[in-house]
């Protein structure tokens, strides 16, 4: 399944969940706070800007934000919140598409670098970020830690979340570092709604090597946007990479 098929009109229409889920203030506010601080007085570029979950409030903080987005339906949804003058968007692949101007910050949130399904594409994404940044600029990646410690020998799937009306299930192909996330939503009836998305998972150490290949240095890594310590038990991380001042 191609990314354009996954992020279609139907998905875009039900992607936003104002006030809850990834749109909950306790999740969104620390994200925007951190990104605004990292952007400083410069402009920000969001890879896979989607419907503007982060870009819209970040622009509201006075940070000039541009987006790159592969899905036209997601951009159309974004346009109901912000016009082209407020948040310009280039339709294209975040590994190759270019945006005009220079930026002090490029960022990728909510695991979206894993939407690129090959190592080569993921490395290209880092290099694309470096091309857009001024010397000393930062590339921020939010990404989950693969939960292979929960995968016993001979088992190909893990349940990573379960609550009333929802089950999240991941199936792994450990040879290709591929995982398919299955999101089951259900009510009282016998039927459930399923949304699936394929990903290539990345270990933090591999991510750091991708950064080095693109000329970045790891500045810091935390378990969340609020700055919690990253430990062996952390389920995700926010990694900040920086270009040396003489590079850009």
Give the DSSP per-residue string, 173-225: ETTTTEEEEEEEEE-SSS-EEEEEEEEE---HHHHHHHHHHTT-EEEEEESST
Cα–Cα distance list, 145 to 105, 159, 200, 206 (Å)? 23, 15, 12, 11
Residues 42 and 13 in one domain: yes
Residues 100 and 162 in one domain: no
Residues 161 and 115 in one domain: no
DSSP characters for 10-39?
HHHHHH--TTSGGGSHHHHHHHHHHHHHHH
Structure confidence at residue 1 as a pLDDT band (50, 70, 90): low
∠ Cα 189 193 198 (to 5°): 155
pLDDT at 247 over 70: no
**What tokens appear for 140 in the block?**
């921020």
**What tokens appear for 107 in the block?**
């960022």
Residues 160 and 226 in one domain: no
pLDDT at 129 (0 to 100): 98
Q: What's the pTM value of the predicted model, to 2 decimals? A: 0.91
Residue 71's domain spans which residues? 3-146+202-242
Structure confidence at residue 6 as a pLDDT band (50, 70, 90): low
* Phi, psi at 102, each rounded to 5°: -125, 155
Q: Could you report the per-residue pLDDT of 58-90, keeping only the tens digit for each?
A: 999 999 999 999 999 999 999 999 999 999 999
Burial (Cβ within 10 Å: 0-12, 13-18, ≥19) of residue 125: buried
Residues 86 and 194 in one domain: no
Q: What is the mean pLDDT of residues 203-216?
A: 98
Task: Please state, in angstroms and rounded to a whole number, the distance separating the CA atoms of residues 131 and 99.
Answer: 10
Residues 129 and 159 in one domain: no
Structure confidence at residue 2 as a pLDDT band (50, 70, 90): low
Structure confidence at residue 245 as a pLDDT band (50, 70, 90): confident
Residues 165 and 232 in one domain: no
Query: Is 98 contained in some domain?
Result: yes
Residues 28 and 91 in one domain: yes
**What is the count of structural domains for the chain?**
2
Residues 158 and 219 in one domain: no
CATH number of the domain that 119 lies in?
3.40.50.150
Query: Is 248 contained in some domain?
Result: no
Residues 232 and 126 in one domain: yes
68, 46 Cβ separation under 8 angstroms:
yes
Task: Please state, in angstroms and rounded to a whole number, the distance separating the CA atoms of residues 9 and 20.
Answer: 21
Residues 37 and 52 in one domain: yes
Residues 142 and 209 in one domain: yes
């Amino acid at each position: 399944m191609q990314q354009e098929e996954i992020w279609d009109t139907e998905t875009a229409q039900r992607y936003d969940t104002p006030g809850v889920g990834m749109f909950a203030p306790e999740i969104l506010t620390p994200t925007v706070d951190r990104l605004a601080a990292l952007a400083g007085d410069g402009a920000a570029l969001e890879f896979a800007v989607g419907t503007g979950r982060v870009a819209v409030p970040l622009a509201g903080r006075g940070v000039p934000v541009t987006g790159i987005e592969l899905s036209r339906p997601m951009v159309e949804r974004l346009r109901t919140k912000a016009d082209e003058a407020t948040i310009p968007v280039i339709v294209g692949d975040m590994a190759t598409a270019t945006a005009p101007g220079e930026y002090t910050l490029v960022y990728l949130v909510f695991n979206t670098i894993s939407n690129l399904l090959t190592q080569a594409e993921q490395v290209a994404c880092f290099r694309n970020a470096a091309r857009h940044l001024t010397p000393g600029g930062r590339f921020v990646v939010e990404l989950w830690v693969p939960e292979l410690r929960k995968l016993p020998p001979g088992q190909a799937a893990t349940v990573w979340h379960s609550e009333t009306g929802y089950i999240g299930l991941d199936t792994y192909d450990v040879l290709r570092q591929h995982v398919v996330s299955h999101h089951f939503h259900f009510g009282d009836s016998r039927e459930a709604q399923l949304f699936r998305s394929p990903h290539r998972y990345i270990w933090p150490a591999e991510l750091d090597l991708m950064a080095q290949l693109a000329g970045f240095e790891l500045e810091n890594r935390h378990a969340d946007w609020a700055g919690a310590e990253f430990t062996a038990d952390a389920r995700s991380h926010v990694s900040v990479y920086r270009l040396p001042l003489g590079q850009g």
